Chains A and B, each alone.
Chain A
Amino acid sequence: MRPALALLQRILGFVIVFFGVTFVIYFAVFSLPGDPIRALAGDRAIPQGVIDALHAQYRLDQPLWQQYSAYIGGLFHGDFGIDFRGRPVGEQMLARWPVTIALALTAWGIEVVLGVAIGVISALRKGTVIDKSLLALTVLASCIPVFVLGAVAQLVFGVSLGWLPVAGVSDGWPISYILPAAVIAVFGLAAVSRLVRSSVIESLGSDYVRTARAKGLGEPRVVGVHVMRNSLIPASTFLATDLGYLLGGTVIIEGIFNLPGVGNLLFSAIRSHEGATVVGVSTALILIFLITTIVVDALHAVLDPRSRLG
């Protein structure tokens, strides 16, 4: 009975979040001042008949509740609406998700590998110069604003050294994604490596590690198997949440590196007051957040049996 109830609760939560969020966002875009069609034209006015036709086409002549219910109605038929360029929003999102996902996963991969490595090294060399300088470096790097770091990376690796493309995705994965992904990854590094470091230190001092050593196991096996398994639990939940964040939080980096991902789409849609696109993208992002939260909970339960008891 209880699991079913929990599931029902979760679904209900989903529904409330879904309607609440889509409505709030739709309302926010709706209440932006000015006529988006008139603004598209810029300084050059377009004929009144054309404005009227476009208003009708995008339902801008209707009150909020009508626009919103038409939008939601369409959504249930899998129709995300049409953007101001006359293209289906769903199609736009489909075309752009691969870029964002590739970027997020690459960044996440770099964060995991470097973060864990730095954390383990720091823990094993606790209190030494190496430990302290790694701490200083990662913290310092995550303090630099992302657009500064991005611009510097472009100038150094793209313009001066010419190793990697400055911007865009035309060289495909991984070449085009290395630089932007590395820049994002830098921000998670400090947190991941600190988490790993402290739990590795904790594990190193625990009884089962002493036992393992007493059994005569080699240091690589002790650290690699016995220590890692336990000390990765806190880091893994953090990393999973971070993946959700990375998928939704790449707006700035996509802008700096001219990557045609969803963040980029969201940014330009907000600027042109395109309700359908803004709501579509934000809803997708929110769903991703909700799903990663659930996955993280589940993952935690698998890795750490203690959390299943409560």
Chain B
Amino acid sequence: MKLSVKASFGIAAATMLVLAGCTATSDPATDDDVILRVAIAEPDRLVPANHFSSYEVLTAIFTSLTGLDEDGQLEYLQAESVESDDAVTWTITLRDGWTFHNGDPVTAQSYVDAWNYAAYAPNAQVNGGQLKNVVGYSELSPVDGSEPTATELSGLSVVDDLTFTVELQSPDRQYPFQLTQGQTGLYPLPAEALEDLDAYNSHPIGNGPFMLADDWTPSQEIETVVYEDYAGEEPTIGGVTFVPYLDTTIAYTDALAGEVDIVAISGDQVTRAEEDFGDNFYALDAPGVDLLGFPSDDPRFSDKRVRQAISMAIDREAINDAIYGGRQIPATSLTSPSMPGDPAGVCGEYCEFNPEAAQELLAEAGGFEGPMELLFIGGWGQEDLFAAYANQIRQNLGIEDVVATPAPDFAAFTERVANGDVSGPFRARWGALYPSQQDTLHSLYTAEGDGNFGTGGYSNPEVDALLAEADAAETLEESYEGYRAVQERILEDFPVVPTFGNRYLYVTSERVTDLYSISGSPLLSRVEVSA
């Protein structure tokens, strides 16, 4: 989750005090007076079902149905309960007395209308796919892109003002986890939003702890203040000002100058950050994993021993120390270690550095002929990483012609991978949107998964069956066993090289005393500050 680029404003400490808002300077400031300044990449849109990069702002102005508490247990937020007997039909009951920032009550209809709108393909809501497990989705958004035959999800029905039911296409006990904050496509919308989404986009109205102070002007700061009638837990701070930056480097320098309070930094800034910020540097366990995918149409990689050999030729520990200051997590499974029930070590010897065994495996598979080109994306701070991969594969496997080539941007990268114009392992990654292994495993390792492209189009009917079984498991423990079986089965095929589990990295100003976070992202309403 690299903070990419855009425009913005630094601000002097003096202005910060003004924003901090107390009129009588002699009063000691309380937490309520603290307005945190948070560095973000310029948001694209502020419509929850139709944005790519506005998570920070949207999670502040909306409250999801469910969340995770400090111990990683499911907690109910906007929802009072999410229940099901058969794991197919789920009844979602909302808490009473919650309102949107415009005063409208949050009702079952606010959800059902928003979800129907999001799922209907011609509305071009990019996060509509988050509803694809609901019955009727394929009529609103046919897989082949053909004309939809319905405008409402048949699987949704409103029971009363505060209750609605969701019928899923297959039994899924993980469903309550899907309703946590990352899946913004499942946020509710006030009625006025659907009347004019463009107008709504310039002043989004949510059901969350913070509300926009003014209309949103692109490339300008976004000021939010506490929503006075918020029915949920009272925020620890008085508001958040989101400051768009073109680049993490500038945001970092601004944080050094004390002009911004929370900045997400990139992996290659770690060593400096630890020195510059000390206790105010945070490495948060995150739900993302890095991988190397393989071109499915290159016969040289069709023998899994070749892929295993490459995996064993990479010294993850050394790379982690040299490039990430030891802050990422060498992969030992297909999911991030912070994922509930992550079967650490399931990858076994194939994820351990062992050049001798790697060479033997490669020899057994008949060696490797011709050039190998590792493809990654230029300008994302991965130049050193891929140079290291290339060096290690070259030296440890004795393959002479190994190079790492950057694609100029993401579009060019996807074009080359999609066209099979790759002659070696390529960069792949998955950042799960909710805390269940289900997201990573479904998305990457099933044919209809949103990230299937990153694994070279891997799928296997046995994996599908095991996944369905794990999804339907009665208890969390059983589901963990189920997902372990799924991972074991996938790793038998070894379609990808798991490289790192992610940590998201932040630096903060001294005002922030504890950066409360969920799944690697700060939860701004619970960040602790000293006034």
A positions within 8 Å CB-CB of B? 32-36, 38-54, 57, 84-87, 92, 95-96, 151, 154-155, 158-159, 162, 165-171, 175-176, 254-260, 264-265, 267-268, 271, 273
Contacts and interface: CB of A to CB of B under 8 A. Distances in A.
B411 A166 contact: no
Given A53-B121, A84-B44, A92-B218, A165 B10 contact: yes
Interface string B471-483: 0000000000000
Contacts of A159: 253, 256-257
A81 to B, nearest CB: 15
B245 interface: yes
B489 interface: no
Contact of B145 (A41, A52, A176, A265): A52
Contact of A86 (B45, B127, B143): B45
Contacts of A271: 5, 409
B411 A257 contact: no
User: Interface centre among A34, A35, A176, A257, by most B CB within 10 Å?
Assistant: A34
Interface residues of B, number: 68
Given A43-B431, A44-B451, A45-B453, A167 B411 contact: no
Given A33-B415, A53-B122, A167-B10, A48 B144 contact: yes
Contacts of B201: 86
B142 interface: yes
Interface in B119-162: 121-129, 132, 141-146, 148
13 contacts: A38-B411, A39-B409, A48-B141, A54-B126, A85-B45, A95-B217, A151-B253, A158-B254, A162-B13, A258-B10, A264-B6, A264-B219, A265-B7
Contacts of A257: 250
A53 B121 CA distance: 7
Nearest to A54: B124
A228 to B, nearest CB: 38
Per CB-CB distance, the 7 closest pairs between chain A and chain B, nearest first, are A49-B121, A168-B9, A34-B411, A260-B7, A39-B411, A170-B9, A168-B10
B315 interface: no
B443 to A, nearest CB: 8
A50 B251 CA distance: 34
B414 interface: yes
B220 A158 contact: no
A256 B250 contact: yes
A167 B256 CA distance: 12
Interface string B237-274: 00000011111001101101101000000000000000
A268 B5 contact: yes
B198 interface: yes
Given A40-B126, A258-B246, 14 more contacts: A34-B414, A34-B415, A39-B410, A43-B431, A47-B141, A48-B121, A49-B142, A155-B253, A158-B254, A158-B257, A166-B257, A167-B9, A256-B250, A267-B246
B250 to A, nearest CB: 5
Contacts, number: 191
Nearest to B415: A34
B469 interface: no
A162 B221 CA distance: 21
Given A34-B411, A162-B13, A257-B250, A268 B6 contact: yes
A166 B254 contact: yes
Contacts of B29: none
A14 to B, nearest CB: 31
A167 B10 CA distance: 5
Contact of B52 (A40, A176, A259): A40
Contact of A48 (B143, B254, B409): B143
Contacts of A85: 44-45, 218
B126 A50 contact: yes
A92 B7 CA distance: 12
Nearest to B252: A166
B122 A49 contact: yes
Nearest to B120: A49
A92 B13 CA distance: 29
Contacts of B413: 34
Contact of B414 (A39, A49, A166, A170): A39
B294 interface: no
B181 interface: no
Given A45-B451, A258-B7, A258-B245, A34 B410 contact: yes
B450 interface: yes
Contacts of A171: 11-12, 15
Interface string B447-469: 00011111000000000000000
B10 A35 contact: no
A159 B132 CA distance: 49
Given A43-B430, A51-B145, A95-B219, A158 B253 contact: yes
A254 B219 CA distance: 13
Contact of B141 (A44, A50, A169): A50
Contact of A44 (B8, B128, B217, B450): B450
A33 B411 contact: yes
B412 interface: yes
Contacts of A43: 428-431, 451, 453-454
Interface in B214-236: 217-221
B516 to A, nearest CB: 26
A168 B40 CA distance: 13
Nearest to B254: A166
A206 to B, nearest CB: 50
Given A95-B218, A154-B253, A171-B12, A48 B410 contact: no
User: Interface centre among B12, B45, B148, B259, by most A CB within 10 Å?
Assistant: B12
Interface string B35-49: 000000010110000
Nearest to A34: B411
Given A95-B217, A165-B259, A258-B10, A34 B124 contact: no
Nearest to B256: A159
B122 A264 contact: no
Nearest to B6: A268
A254 B8 CA distance: 10
